[in-house]
A and B are shown apart, each in its own frame.
Chain A
């Protein structure tokens, strides 16, 4: 590479970093004060981009029209953020953190379908910025003038935010609330207003980040999750709550990505390395690296625990094997009475139930929330498919080996993950899932790329849907029973103890990380089993099995059913899978319907469905006679 092309890539990277910084700074600000990981933040970015597209059409392609449209889009997105805060989040600030997360997932689903409804499924390519369409020549290379402007916007916004946070009363309140919001309230500050204002500012930043990209990237419906993944990476690499850290991280990641594109394909020692394909992976590699060296990000500090009276996790009730046996008998009887459709739906539900129970195991009793559990489900599915199709193994062998492959990945991923905790851990799991997805998505020659793997059918003796139903029931039932059994073993107790108090666990001689690592491998293998069973039931696998959407589906299942009960995840998986199937057959906008259902549940049953029903039952029993 010449010096000139290095410079060009550097400038490219810095231009991309601007929007990344804006959206991440907003996310960081909101998280700091409200302690909500706003999954809908990428959706707000997406709305900013779509909004700018429409507003430019309305206001005209003049410099004035363009810039008014960008600013107006950002402000409208700010108002959308306020709406989300006032209508939904404000009602659940006292609910468990995971429930707030579930609410923001629901908002993602709703916004996606609103965008689908308003703007359609096609990508929309925006106009160039009027007056800035030309290119500036630097060292013989042409750089779009608009990129240079973006490069300037980053530091300007950083400076503005810094002044706002350190030189105004609002800034002092925000920083104080980041540390101890209850105390801020006791000093006479209206928290609700403060939160709303923070949501407004954060959302404006996301909207502005999106709107500013209009000349550079087409508006599309996949942006919500890809942007939130990027923003997570930037906030975590920079350090949660550190605006300066977000700036630094955005630049590092923007530039690294630009260089990967710029380098293109290189042949080293006879091996062809396609750097441009690394763009999807490189930011996650940076994140994994940074977190291992600096567990709180480049400029972050250990999170001050917010002083909110959170109830400790309640004791776990052992499963009733009698009731489980009754269910088993019922499920064995189902194919005798029900039609093919029910059998197939139940087969799906079995797979997702094991997937959800394995996720519950790691995030509930073991206390390690995973945003990327689909990695193991998907890797299990792919391992099964590839062992069957490419290695030519019999289906039975592929089914047995697939969980071991998923477990092997969990060995690697888990080693990194158990070094972190809380939100950092959750985001690292997301990063690993995304790395897995990128590899699968881009390795056309081996994994089939975006098309996936076809012709993954069970052996002849299992080909019948009813027979396969029993296989799925046996595999998933055994997996669930194993996980439940382990929960009440000394190993399972160690995990629960470590969640309750890592400090005390270490102080009584427990090497907690080792146990947590083993737990990662165990649930990884079982999620892999779920994926493998699923793959053979469908006959094909696509990269969506590893996608963020698949991971969030799992989280929704667990949270819907309730983290605090063992049966909750199964109920959640069943209801979610059934509901999605029902709704998707009736409307194109099934996501919005799902989102609204989830929001209704969140607002009505803040302990999850099973927990909520139990509470209702308890109230019923205790009613005055």
Chain B
């Protein structure tokens, strides 16, 4: 579904990604692990075209996308859920969802408001509430729902558990498993290993802009030195 090869990216003059390669197969949940500043978010932004990669290839659904602007990539069915949520605080819940809406995709049942409210019941009661008046956890639900309105085949989730109370993190894990149940491919960046273990099939570890490990969650669990060296546990 998603193939990344030898990705290089810069912020200004700072060389952030040094040849990142990774894959996510259809229906898979893949975690990209690493600590703050390791380059996790940058990988997702580069895939999405928000930070155009300087070098390397990104193929989505068999199509090369590394030179496309973000909106074209989004229209191909790649959804992006940013860190820090970035919901439109002046817009109501319904309007936030409207901004994310795209035409239905062939072969996929389209997401509707009602279907999303079934997945995130908290949101149903606050359709007309401005996004700025929601709690952090509610905003996190809304930002995912907003991206789903674009009927993506694959979703990039940037730090979905960041800054959430541990108890909300558990709800978030349930929601991601539900997305997997719908057949979506998910690539998520995380610092939280417990959370990743609860949702992901496979994991990559990134450090200083390079992939240092790629394998199943079981392999990662079996190697405490990896966790000690690269992760915040």
A and B in direct contact, judged by CB atoms within 8 A: yes
A residues contacting B by CB (< 8 A) are 169, 172-173, 175-176, 178-180, 182-191, 307, 309, 311
| A180 cross-chain contacts in B, Cβ below 8 A | 86, 88
Cβ < 8 Å to A, chain B residues 29-70: 48, 50-51, 69-70
B98/A172 in contact, CB under 8 A: yes
In Å, the complex CA distance between A565 and B64 comes to 41
Cβ–Cβ contact B88 & A188, under 8 A: no
Residues from chain A with Cβ under 8 Å of B136 in the complex: none
A186 with B146, Cβ < 8 A, contacts A172-B91, A172-B98 known? no
Q: Are B75 and A176 in contact (CB under 8 A)?
A: no
Enumerate B93-122 residues with CB–CB distance to A below 8 Å.
95-96, 98-102
Known A173-B99, A176-B99, A183-B82; contact A188-B71, beta-carbon cutoff 8 A: yes
Within 8 A of A (CB), among B201-221: none
Could you write out 26 A-B pairs with CB less than 8 Å apart?
A169-B98, A172-B95, A172-B98, A173-B99, A175-B88, A175-B90, A175-B91, A175-B95, A176-B88, A176-B91, A179-B90, A183-B82, A183-B86, A184-B99, A185-B69, A185-B70, A185-B71, A186-B48, A186-B80, A187-B146, A187-B150, A188-B74, A188-B150, A191-B69, A307-B86, A309-B51
Question: Is A309 a contact partner of B11 (Cβ separation < 8 A)?
Answer: yes
In the bound complex, do residue B50 and residue A187 qualify as a contact, i.e. CB atoms below 8 Å apart?
no
Contact flag A186-B74 (CB < 8 Å), given A175-B90, A307-B86: yes
The chain B residue sitting closest to A184, CB to CB, is B99
The yes or no answer to B89 lying at the interface (CB within 8 A) is yes
| Residues on the A chain within 8 Å of B89, using CB | 179
List the A residue with the shortest CB-CB distance to B13: A311
- Asked if residues B70 and A186 are in contact (CB atoms below 8 Å), the reply is yes
Q: Given A175-B91, A180-B86, A191–B98 Cβ distance below 8 Å?
A: no
Q: Which residues does chain A contribute within 8 Å of B100, judged by CB atoms?
A: 187-188
- Cα(A325)–Cα(B126), bound, Å: 69
Nearest residue (CB) in A for B77 is A188
- Residue of A whose beta carbon sits closest to that of B150: A188
Q: Judge if B12 is at the interface, Cβ distance under 8 Å.
A: yes
Residues in B neighbouring A179, C-beta threshold 8 A: 88-90
**Please, how many angstroms separate the alpha-carbon atoms of A607 and B100 in the complex?**
35
A162 to B74, CA, bound (A): 29
Q: Which residue of B lies closest to A307 (CB)?
A: B86
Q: How far is the CB of B150 from chain A (nearest CB, A)?
A: 5
- Kindly supply a per-residue 1/0 record for chain B positions 1-28, scoring 1 wherever the CB is within 8 Å of any chain A CB and 0 otherwise: 0000000000110000000000000000
Whether B12 lies near A311 (C-beta < 8 A) is yes
CA of A173 to CA of B95, assembled, Å:
9
B140 touches A (CB below 8 Å): no
Given contacts A169-B98, A173-B99, are A187 and B91 in contact (CB under 8 A)?
Answer: no
- Judge whether B86 and A191 touch: CB under 8 Å: no
When distances are taken between beta carbons in the complex, the residues of chain B under 8 Å from A185 are: 50, 69-71, 74
The docked-state distance in angstroms from the alpha carbon of A131 to that of B123 is 56
Tell me the chain B residues, 178-204 only, with Cβ under 8 Å from chain A.
none
